[in-house]
Amino acid sequence: MAIDKSIKQTYDELGYVVVPGLIPQEHWNDLDAACERVIQKTRTGTWSHRRTVGKQFPPFDNDNPDSWGVQHVMHPQLNEPAFGKWYTSEGLLSVVKELLGCSDEQLQLELFNMLINPLSHDFALRWHRDDVNEKASEEEERNALNTWHYGVALRPDNCLYVVPRSHSQVRTPEQRKLSETSDAPENPLDMPGAIQVTLQPGETIFYNSNILHCATYSSTSPRVTLHGCVGDIRGGSTRARNVLQHGLEWMKGDEFRASLPQGLRARKMLDNLLDMQKNSGPVGYSLQN
């Protein structure tokens, strides 16, 4: 698949880039239907691996019946092969390799979840970097590099706010003041430099997880956003905490390996993840609720 080389420049400069057309039309209906089934299972309690209102970051619990996310959409017990098919698709991973400058053999299977709207509560995530504590010093912020996430909206999505270029810049005193507590913002655009990112159906935003970002969730606006990350083994164990804190022990089983799309690439990506798990030891949690 031919990739527009300008996306790498945009990604490096701004910390994110939006790419359209990465879901082939022939896969769209299967993926959309799989999302609806999984959301229904989560809403009714059939699927318990979820992100709950009141908890912004892992570990999540079941104290609140309302959900803002579905965890582990490639889990074999969900039996939804459309997710793994898209996660390992040529179109998506061609962009990944362009942005990371890596080969098929260096790709690492990581997280794949879904973000949804709560039904009974409006909810927001505070301004944060995914694997940098809110109280981090300037030096710690500078050292947090080379991790990234991607999300794809299956419906119009205007939940995400980012501060462009913040993936390579330490926070200003005003930005630090608005991001060093657990409080969600009353108005995300109060953050200096913040913009709202609106995705149309089928668009994928790739972003460096060190970019300063937050999200709002309205109980009255449907949201179905696939959200995950792919790694590069050259990062070694530096990615371990950000990924393994979500609980991926189930990926070690034969059932999950058998559920992956046919071909060596998906299995090699899994092997790379398992190698990181084996070599990482205890990882803890990136951020505090």
Segment 13-61, tens digit of pLDDT: 999 999 998 988 888 999 999 999 999 999 999 999 999 999 998 889 8
Determine contact, residues 273/182, Cβ cutoff 8 Å: no
CB atoms within 10 A of CB 198: 14
pLDDT tens readout for residues 164-175 = 999 889 999 999
Looking at the domain assignment, is residue 239 inside a domain? yes
DSSP string, 217-273: E-TTS--EEEEEEEEEGGGGGGGHHHHHTT--GGGGSHHHHHHSPSSHHHHHHHHHH
Average pLDDT over the chain, rounded to an integer: 89
pLDDT grade for 151, boundaries at 50, 70 and 90: low
Is 6 a domain residue? no
- Tally the domains of the chain: 1
Q: Does residue 80 belong to any structural domain of this protein?
A: yes
Phi-psi region of 54 (alpha: psi -120 to 50; beta: other; left: phi over 0): left
* pLDDT at residue 140 greater than cutoff 60: yes
148 pLDDT higher than 70 = no
3-state secondary structure 173-187: HHHHHCCCCCCCCCC
Spatial strand order in the sheet of 16-19: 16-19, 204-208, 148-153, 224-232, 107-116, 67-70, 50-52
- Residue 147: pLDDT over 60: no
State the pLDDT at residue 154.
65
pLDDT in tens, 226-254: 999 998 888 777 778 878 888 899 999 99
Q: Region 201-214: what's the mean pLDDT? A: 91
Q: Is residue 170 part of a domain?
A: yes
Residue 100 lies in a domain: yes
- The domain containing residue 195 runs over which residues? 16-280
Q: What pLDDT score does 5 carry?
A: 77
Residue 176: both structure tokens together: 């630090």
Cβ contact 201:153 at 8 Å: yes
Query: Is the residue at 286 inside a domain?
Result: no
CATH label of the domain that carries residue 148: 2.60.120.620
pLDDT score, position 139: 77
Return the pLDDT at 125.
93
The answer to whether residue 287 sits within a structural domain is no
In a domain, 9, yes or no: no
Residue with the bigger pLDDT between 144 and 249: it is: 249
User: For residue 132, which of 185, 39, 208 has the smallest C-alpha distance?
Assistant: 208
